[in-house]
Amino acid sequence: MIAVQDESRGTALQRLAQERRVNAETLLRQVRDFDTTRASSWTALGCAYASMGRPDEARTALRAAAMNLQGKSDPLIIYALGYVEYYYAPLEDPAARLESAEREFAQAVKLKGQATDPASVRIISDCEKAVEEIGTWRVTSLRFDDRFERESAKNLGANWLESEDKYGILVSLENVKERGGRAKFSGKQAIADYGLTTMGREVPGEDFYAFEATLYAERVDKTEYGV
């Protein structure tokens, strides 16, 4: 009953938010029509269209705002155009959308030091961060993602390098219905204390950003493990 009430409340809030956006659009269109030469009216209307998921109308309004500035630049207009390109550009893949958005954000960054009011300074800073993050995304790639969802086997496969023949600990691939696939270390180390049994792989490239793994300790006695 609580879940149903929460879902109904969420739906009602979404409907209310949409109604308010529509009301805002109606009001902003009236303000724009009162004086179609005011860039701020076009800008506000363009931002409203963007938040409503209407990219074509957003672009039209924002470009009209830019034209009414008569050669001047407003960081908010550029930021809003970048937002529209990032989320709605009709391009073939995320990389193309990011490139299109980056071009817009970079235009705002060029205004650094020229626009000095607090709002513009904050928007330019946000655009600068967006450009940096897009640049980082461009040179970052997922080199591998292995969840070991293969048939159980004595070897891990998938180019993993195993070191397991010295101390009595075996490395194998275990895939069971209850918990899925895992790289499993099993056995009792009886040959030498503090012996190291490992699995690893080569990662080509000069830059390395992150490595993530989940370790499950089922039965451990006088053992150290880690990444």
pLDDT (0 to 100) of residue 205: 65
Quote the CA–CA distance of 69 and 73 in Å, as a whole number. Answer: 7
Quote the CA–CA distance of 105 and 41 in Å, as a whole number. Answer: 21
Q: Do 127 and 79 contact (CB within 8 A), yes or no?
A: yes
Quote the CA–CA distance of 127 and 85 in Å, as a whole number. Answer: 13
pLDDT tens digits for 42-77? 999 999 999 888 999 999 999 999 999 988 899 999
CA distances from residue 211 to 142, 143, 163, 204, 226 in whole angstroms, order as listed: 10, 10, 20, 14, 12
pLDDT (0 to 100) of residue 75: 94
Residue 91 confidence (pLDDT) above 80: no
User: Which amino acid does the sequence have at 153?
Assistant: A
In this structure, are strands 180-186 and 198-200 parallel, antiparallel, or unpaired? unpaired
φ and ψ at residue 183, rounded to 5 degrees = -90, 120
How is the chain split into domains, by residue range?
A: 13-139, 143-227
Least confident of 54-63, 88-97, 150-159: 88-97
Least confident of 28-32, 100-104, 111-115: 28-32
Residue 33 confidence (pLDDT) above 50: yes
Which residues contact residue 49 at a Cβ distance below 8 angstroms, ignoring those fewer than 6 apart?
25, 55, 57, 58, 61
Instruction: Map residue 200 onto helix, strand or coil.
Output: strand
Paired tokens of 217: 């300790």
Whether domain 13-139 has CATH 2.30.30.230:
no
